[in-house]
Structure 1
Amino acid sequence: MKATFKAILIVVLCTFLTISCSRKKDKFINRNFHAITTEFNALYNGYNALEEGRSSLNAAYFDNYWDVLPIERMQIFEEVVLPGQSKNENFTRAEEKAAKAIQKHSMNVGGKEKNPQIDEAYLLLGKARYFDQRFIPSLEAFNYILYKYPASDKINQAKVWREKSNIRLDNNELAIKNLKRLLFQEELEGQDLADATSILAQAYLNTKSVDSAITQLEIASNATKNNDERGRYRFIQGQLYNQLGYKDSANIAFDKVIELNRKTRRIYMITAYLEKIKNFDYENGNKLEVTELLTELEENRENRPFLDKIYHQIGEYHLNNNSDSLAVAYYNKSLRTNSKDEFLKARNYEILGDMNFDASVYADAGEYYDSTMSNLALNSKPYRVIKRKRDNLEDVIYYEAIAKVNDSVLRLVNLPEDERLTYFEGFVEALKIKDEEEKEKAEAAERSSGLATVDNRISGQRVGANKPSQAAVFYFYNPTTVAYGKNQFVKIWGDRQLEDDWRWSNKGISSGANTASTDDILATATDEEKFDPQFYISKIPSEEKEIDSISKERNYAYYQLGLIYKEKFKEYGLAKNKFQNLLDSNPEERLILPSKYNLYKIYEALGENDEATIAKNEITSKYPESRYATIINNPELVSDKDENSPVSLYEALYIQHGNQEFADVISKSEEYINKFDGEPIVPKLELLKATATGRLYGYEAYAKAINYLAITYANTPEGKQAQNIESNILPKLASKDFIAENDSVSNNYKVVFQLKNPEPEQVSDFQKTLDSVLKNIKYYKLTSSKDVYSPNTTFVVVHGLKTGTVARTFDQLLIKEDKRKIKAPYFVVTSTNYQIIQIHKNLDAYMNIDNN
């Protein structure tokens, strides 16, 4: 009986489920079955997935408090996502649940939707697409709700989310229009009002209507039920008031954030405190009160995650109070917190760099600017600003390093033997202490982790075991060992590029001086030599020629530093010291007069009239024929267009180079280089001379000249250009091999007339005659040009022939009268081989090939 009853009950239930599952019948059972199933199955799971996705999105999002915060915490990715792909699997799952609810539970009967949960499904669908940053599909979902379900209780939410999508698609004006209409037509309350007004505020911010945005944020702050949102809206209000310059109103908004205390995210409260401190009036405000507040924020244990920002603001406070040493200490504290805020780290480094720059410690400033750039987006505007500052320091850092190293060497050279010994004995003692410390650190590291220790296994064997272990780990997989090895490498070898022959001393990153660094010496020393003072004494230069070279290099560095400080940084005091030190160091004759003239101009700039008069009289009396004396005696006659100025002479030489007067360019360049030595025009003259040398004497001479320019003027634009030529262009030109000529391959051929030891008029006359002859040749459009090959040979070249056969029978194209005019011998060559001939000056090798 019981079995029969159970069977009947099962049949009844199955029949009931079958009937209720139908989506075509508008019955009470059908409607409620699908509504309940939709709400508590698909939509429930879908909204859970949506919230998980939003949580992960918020966790990965990092607010930039250096700019006005966006209303909505949502990271926008730049990369394009292909159809079918997703940035977050949770949003994909939410979208799938929404689609499942629509597909399996929609009850479209008589053109009307009978399931009251389907509009909610479309809302979930739109939200999932929105957070997955597929804004056009999300807009379609929200528009469908407005079109298909105008009586839905979710209609206002759909309208707000539609405008959020419009704003993401940069349709801000449309969003403002629709949201204003919604607020006018509907009596929104609570969270709906907060959502509508907050997103309207974002649209106003995007269109730069800051006042309107503040008004809407006030409404949203009062209407929202979420304290996190209220704290964010109030904080943004404060930022906007600051942007408008209303500091009192901004502080009131920040106070409202602070009043929320633990009800909102702590970062809002901490940053609100810091923003209020930024608005502090340093002239009339209560500094004791601010100091106590900063101390309290620093010492509160709950604020540890925000110490990077707190330390930075304390540093700012001390900097504004002219307490530079305290400011530096706190900026460094902020950096040591390992903050995730890249812009904050960049800001700390930049301020420290600026402080060193203002103190004329340019080498340290350059290092801080390097660190600043490493924390900024590549090629962003802030990056370019800092890079410009850093580039301006390149030369001064380079020459300061040379001066420092060479000064040290020359001091050692001039020390008596006993003082040298005392100095290096102290150096060796310090080296021994340092070496002992390094050994202790290495032993401690080995004891703590071992060279290859994993799970109590050392060198492949378990501690206390007799059998080898199979779980031994290669020692490069041990981070402690690797870090120790890297440090030791840098200490011994310095910062080396990854390249062949890295062990050579000239591969190290050095100051540019010719003297060997301590690291280079230590790298080549044995353990016995390393702790022997006599080893280091033996490395001190002793030959007069070598000492003289070091002294000249140091003097040139002094001269360049004097010019840089005077011209680029207007640091006349530093420039004066460098020029005076140069003149006291027995400089070469070529540097004396320019240094004295620059000192004269510095004295004038500093208002030291007596010294300026003395310098002026010395120049005009001792060097009356010099250009500097002419400038001093007749300043009104001197202008940028002076024919004897370096720039004018360079421009004239450049014109000669264009006219292929290479020999004259080379000789005059050498003359001007000696005449204007030390002035900015010299690297330009060297580059022009190198180019002329290559055109006249070929590849080998050009490579040598470029190498000299790249080494001697490494930090100038011309030197860097030479380095690029040496690295990237010369290797492509190195081959001397001629290319086999083949008429079946498209080629340009040249007919080359060779004129030996010609006068300039002779070349011009021959080319004029050739041009008149070429005009008489039918079917071919031929032109000519003049190319200097060597000091004794000039080519006149015919262009426009496409095949070797025609080129080799060039004389047959001429009529009889023209043949009498053109009697000079010629040879035929392809354009490629002609280029090789001109680069390597190997015409004889080409003529020996059976081509002509």
Structure 2
Amino acid sequence: MGTKYNVLYNGNIALERGKDEVNNEFTENFWELLPVERMSVSEDIFLPGQTKNADFERAEEKAIKAIQVHGMNIGGKEKNPQIDEAYLLLGQARYFDQRFVPAMAAFNNILNKYPTSDKINQVKIWREKTSMRLDNDAGAIEKLKRLLKEEDIEGQDLADATAALAQAYLNIKSKDSALAQLTIAAENTKVKREKARYHFIKGQLYNEFGKRDSANIEFDAIIDMHRQIPRSFYINAHIEKSNNFDVLNGDQIEFEEYLAELEENRENRPFLDKIYYRIAEYHRSNASDSLSEVYYNKSLRKTTSDKYLRSLSYETLGNMYFDRNIYKTAGAYYDSTMTAMVVNTKPYRIIKKKRENLDDVIYYEGIAQTNDSILRMVSLPKSEQLAIYTKHTEDLQLKALEAQKQQEEASKTQKSQPSQATRLDQKGKTASRSLGNNPPGTSRIPQPNGIGNRNSSSFYFYNPTTVAYGKNEFLKLWGERKLQDNWRFNNQRADVANTTKDEELVGEITKDKRFDPETYLASLPTSQSEFDSIATERNYAYYQLGIIYKEKFKEFQLSKTRFEDLLDHNPEDRLILPSKYNLYRLYIELGLNQKAEAMKTAIIQEYPDSRYAEILLNPQSELSKDENSPETIYTNLYKQFENEEYAAVITEAEVQIKRFEGDDFVPKFEILKASAKGRLYGFEAYKEGINYIALTYANTEEGKKAQEIIKDALPALQKKEFIADDDARKFNVIFQFENNSGEDIEAFIATLDEEVEKIKYFDLTTSKDLYDENTTFVVVHGLKSIAGANGFGELLKTEEKDKRGRVVKPKITRPYIAISSPNYAIIQRHKNLNAYLKLQ
């Protein structure tokens, strides 16, 4: 009795309290298939003796105390019938504390020592639930099926067993088998919360199987329970049921009333974010974008912890603005979407990439719209230009005047209105005086006409503070009014006093050049070269937009529009052929076969020798991967770059840049050419090339990389000052060769390598480095001091003796230059060898 009503009673109370805490911490994710059991497994690692929940620790302590102190094992038989329940409490406490291996040990102990226990079926169920947590779903299914087959269990035990079996089936993706078990569990459980959960999971599964009617039956079963279950299940059952509404064949008026009833029910206020989102989705499916946008924003304005819902609303609004070509606003919504998502997940990376791609769209759409507007304005007669700008400046003046007046009125109100604290103090003093209580140290002052002390009176107009406050409140509410009948009418405002001020404001504003039409007329381009430059920039923006919409967003209709607009504007020749080829591919994607054939014919007839014509004539030849493809040419050119054939790389890159104008590979050829120029001609040539790439291809990967180089690398690379030899740790010896002298550099390197091999106390290496188009260096690396470098150079000139003792001419007598490695990098970078030699 002491075990049952003292130790185990307190242990079970602690267990229930801990389970309630687990339930409160678990947030239902109705966007995914719900788990059968309301508990999330944490990946946190705890040391022995540590616990996640103090209540479970207390329950475990009580169970252990019952076993150790109250156990009555006499002659190998337990005489206390409560010990099996103590082991069950021990296993449950460890299970909810997510220590599944010790929990398994506790359950197995009951099965081994107390096979006749009245709790034996519960123990078997808990053991298999623990087994599932240890990823042994197959074993759990086998044993639970055996239990259901061999034992005659009913009621809550049957519900628990079939629910556990359903979870095991869900774990192995056998969802149809899980449905049958959930049906039994829902029929037999006595816990309303569990019944609602089982029905909801069934509804979710039926939706996955496409059985909407069956799913709605399950959701209706939840709705019928109403206040007997958590409100979240009730609301989400309504939401899921509404998702199954047939928009085409259903009664839309009745459905709209159903949604409106959900919205207006006061009990649903905590869930208005989801209800508003569902209403927004309904209006969007009916092509009512304006209404849907209102409800998406309503959903976002409701305070919610459901970040996934917020991300859906932000993303949908972003997509809506993107479809309407309002890219800046779309980008802002995508930014907000990412703040509500888990970083570095796949959906997050998709939105992030889409947002980065949108930067290019915003940039080029801005150029296209601005330049189109300028060219359209320039094409108008002078009189129409003046009329448009006059109307524009008049609108600006009215807005500026209104804004300035509002600002002055707000400032005036703020100055004249007493602070809240002052008003409270004044009201307190007035009340005090009205009761005849003067502040200490004050006395009544006689008033004329026998009135007495007006401040002590309760009459409103005797207190100057309340009178001033009343005047301010009147002005705020009614404004300046003339002293006459019908003063409340709107047309009776006393605006005469403000006329002079308005005239002064207008005078000040009209002096601003922003409101002078001539300012805008003077800013319009006038020369043909300016028109051509604007048109060229606009055309290139159209081309880039066509490529971005086609390749990055798969918006084929938008891409087609941009390419067609481009061709209508007579672009430069370099954009015509790639635009036509892209249009050909777009026509095929959009099913416009006649247009595709016409474009194909035009390309073949007008550009018979082009790479695009070859691809169209031989579509199966995969010319994109043959020796004429930009990929192959770039790879071969890069190999030449690695072999220091810089002049050849520069020449060939220029040819390919012209040939593949408009292709995505052009920026790669540009950056390879810039690197080759830098190696051959020095820092200034490299800087010029990188700046060109950063400006011309600003929104490509190479252009962004060039911008990073300008910001981070060029400031360090541009330093020309040589460092002192004492500050360096590595040194080189340089042998200089003229490229056109006919000397055999390779033979010299072979001889030098032989001499280097004889030096065992240094780890020396040699290399052949191109200095400029006329000079090549053969360099020895790995020396530790400037004296050592000079000593090594002199050592190579030292006379040697043969086996007979005769002096022989040394193998290397060529002049050398000793230099530190940092200074060698500087002369290679800036091609300033002569400047270095002058300092020696």
TM-score bracket for the superposition, by shorter chain length: 0.7 to 0.9
Displacement, 1:718? 0.9
In structure 2, the residue matched to 1:822 is 812
The 1:191/1:694 distance shift into structure 2, 3 A limit, reads same
SS in 2 for 1:754: strand
- Structure 1 residue 439: deviation in Å? 7.6
Aligned partner of 1:812 in structure 2 is 795
* SS of equivalent residue, structure 2 residue 158: helix
Q: What's the counterpart of residue 242 of structure 2?
A: 277
Contact kept, 8 Å, 2:755 with 2:796, in 1: the verdict is: no
Partner of 1:558: 542
Partner residue of 2:347 out of 372, 382, 387: 382
- Pairing partner for 1:426 from 395, 403, 406: 395
Distance across 1 between alignment mates of 2:125 and 2:584: 73
Q: CA deviation at 1:231?
A: 1.0
Aligned pairs for 1:742-781 (under 5 A) are: 750-758=732-740, 762-764=744-746, 766-767=748-749, 770=752
Which residue is equivalent to 1:3? none
> 1:50–1:639: structure 2 CA closer, same or farther, 3 Å change rule?
same
Q: Provide the residue aligned with 1:505 in structure 2.
A: none
Q: CA deviation at 1:216?
A: 1.9
2:223 corresponds to: 258
More off after superposition, 598-607 vs 138-147: 598-607
Q: 1:802 to 1:550 in 2, by over 3 A?
A: same
Residues 1:302 and 2:267 are matched in the alignment: yes
The 1:150–1:651 alpha-carbon spacing in structure 2 relative to 1, beyond 3 Å, is closer
Q: Which amino acid aligns with 1:684?
A: K
Fraction of identical pairs, as percent: 51
Query: Deviation string for 1:662-700 (max 9, x for gaps)?
Result: 234335544554565443232112211222233234445
Q: Which structure has the larger Rg?
A: 2
Report the residue type matching 1:789 in the other structure.
Y
What one-letter code is carried by the residue in structure 1 that aligns with 2:519? I
What is the rounded CA distance, in whole Å, between the counterparts of 1:836 and 1:705 in structure 2?
A: 19
SS across alignment from 1:752: strand
1:223 — aligned with what? 188
Cα deviation 1:272-296 (Å, max 9, x = unaligned)? 3333333344555555554443343
The residue type equivalent to 1:427 in the other structure is: L
Conserved 8 A contact 1:38-1:117? no
Aligned-pair CA distance for 1:551: 5.1
CA contact (8 A) 1:431 1:531 kept: no
Matches within 5 A, 1:339-738: 339-357=304-322, 364-408=329-373, 416-417=385-386, 419-434=388-403, 456=421, 533-534=515-516, 537=519, 541=523, 552-565=536-549, 574-575=558-559, 577-579=561-563, 581-582=565-566, 627=610, 639-640=623-624, 649-670=633-654, 672-673=656-657, 676-699=660-683, 701-730=685-714
Aligned to 1:487: none
| Amino acid of the structure 1 residue aligned with 2:792 | T
| Correspondence for 2:176 | 211
SS in 1 for 2:300: helix
Separation in 2 of the partners of 1:54 and 1:229? 14
In the TM superposition, what is the alpha-carbon distance from 1:327 to its structure 2 partner?
4.3
Aligned residues of 1:787 and 1:795 also touching (Cα < 8 A) = yes
Structure 1 position 423, deviation (Å): 1.2
SS in 1 for 2:736: strand
Correspondence for 1:514: none
| Amino acid in structure 1 at the alignment position of 2:637 | L
Specify the code of the residue in structure 2 equivalent to 1:239.
Q
- Over the aligned positions, Cα root-mean-square deviation in angstroms equals 4.8
2-structure distance, mates of 1:396, 1:201: 50
Contact persistence 1:631–1:638 (CA under 8 A): no
User: Could you tell me which amino acid in structure 2 is paired with residue 654 of structure 1?
Assistant: Y
Look up the match of 1:794.
776
**Distance across 1 between alignment mates of 2:184 and 2:166:** 10
Amino acid at match of 2:770: V
Question: How far does residue 446 in structure 1 lie from its aligned partner after superposition?
Answer: 11
Count of aligned positions? 746
Aligned-partner residue type, residue 343 of structure 1: Y
1:424·1:536 contact (CA, 8 Å) conserved in 2? no
Q: Which residue of 2 aligns with 1:176?
A: 141
Matched-pair contact (CA < 8 Å) for 2:200–2:219: yes
Alpha-carbon distance in structure 1 between the residues aligned to 2:306 and 2:839: 69
1:199 Cα deviation (Å)? 1.7
Contact 1:758/1:794 (8 A) holds in 2:
no
| Secondary structure in structure 1 of the residue aligned to 2:771 | strand
SS in 2 for 1:376: coil
Alpha-carbon offset, residue 90 of structure 1? 3.7
Where 1:809 maps in the other structure, the secondary structure is helix
Letter in 2 for 1:687: I
Contact kept? 1:591, 1:678, Cα under 8 Å: yes
Q: CA deviation at 1:600?
A: 8.0
Deviation at 1:651, TM superposition (A): 4.2
Say which of 34, 57, 78 aligns to 2:22.
Answer: 57
Q: Deviations over 1:278-329 (max 9, x none)?
A: 3344555555554443343333332333333333333444444555555444
C-alpha distance in 1, partners of 2:234/2:70? 47
Name the residue aligned to 1:233: 198
Match in the other structure for 1:473: none
The Cα shift of 1:167 comes to 1.9
Partner SS state of residue 753, structure 1? strand
- Contact 2:581 / 2:603 at 8 angstroms: preserved in 1? no
Query: For the residues of structure 1 that align with 2:78 and 2:113, how far apart are their CA atoms?
Result: 9
What amino acid maps onto 1:685 in structure 2? F
Instruction: Tell me which of 91, 112, 129 is aligned to 2:56.
Output: 91
Q: Measure the CA separation in 1 of the matches of 2:271 and 2:51.
A: 33
Bigger mean CA deviation after superposition, 787-796 or 345-354: 345-354
SS of residue in 1 equivalent to 2:777:
strand
- Note closer, same or farther for the CA distance 1:540–1:181 as it changes in structure 2 (3 Å cut): farther
- Secondary structure of 2:126's partner? helix
Shift of 1:52: 3.1
Deviation at 1:352, TM superposition (A): 4.1
Gaps of 5+ in 2: 431-438, 440-507, 803-807
Q: Distance in 2 between matches of 1:580 and 1:553?
A: 16
Contact 1:47 1:94 in 2 (8 A): yes
**1:123–1:141 Cα contact (<8 Å) kept:** yes
Structure 2 length normalisation: TM-score? 0.74
Structure 1: gaps of 5 or more residues: 1-31, 467-525
Question: Which letter does structure 2 place at the counterpart of 1:785?
Answer: S
Contact kept in structure 2, 1:457 and 1:463, CA below 8 Å: no
Structure 1 residue 838 corresponds to structure 2 residue 828? yes
1:243 match: 208
**Structure 1 position 399, deviation (Å):** 0.6
The 1:538–1:256 alpha-carbon spacing in structure 2 relative to 1, beyond 3 Å, is closer
When residues 563 and 161 of structure 1 are mapped into structure 2, their CA distance, relative to the original with a 3 A threshold, is closer
Whole-angstrom distance in 2 between the partners of 1:107 and 1:438 = 87
Report the more deviating stretch, 126-135 or 95-104.
95-104
User: Match for 2:394: what amino acid?
Assistant: E
In structure 2, C-alpha distance between the alignment counterparts of 1:530 and 1:126, rounded to whole Å: 82
